[in-house]
Structure 1
Amino acid sequence: MHDGERVEVPATIGGICAALSEDQRVQFDAEVDAANIDDIYNVVRRWIVELALFPEDEEIFAQLREQGAA
């Protein structure tokens, strides 16, 4: 939810790719290709957070990033 509106964020690798700019897609693909099976969840989760980020929500997403790194 953002400002009372439901925000849809992609939850698949294909959905994430479709939502990214070409430069971001290249970076995402490189990170996914380099991730081992144990780290892929954190890579994908970080990109989902990046796509859903609104400037006023930065504090919330900073907390999510910290949890993902733990």
Structure 2
Amino acid sequence: MLSGNTKFLQGVQIYLLSRDHSNLKSDFRHGNGKIMVNCIENQPAAELVLGKHVFLSVAEYYLRTKTG
């Protein structure tokens, strides 16, 4: 889904970095670990899965890569 398109990935990254961390965390909680990013102009919508596409901390990433 998110591999291969550098412009698209950069847009998603900028979107995520621009979000307030606690609000982003809350959005993932309310979406059962998923959010839909559909507000980037001229780019398709993308469903992001917490712990697969997005990690909210280095510790989460580290734990996932150690056990997965």
Q: Is TM more than 0.5 here?
A: no
TM-score, structure 1 normalization: 0.33
TM-score, structure 2 normalization: 0.33
Bigger helix fraction: 1
Bigger strand fraction: 2
More RCO (CA 8 Å, sep 6+): 1
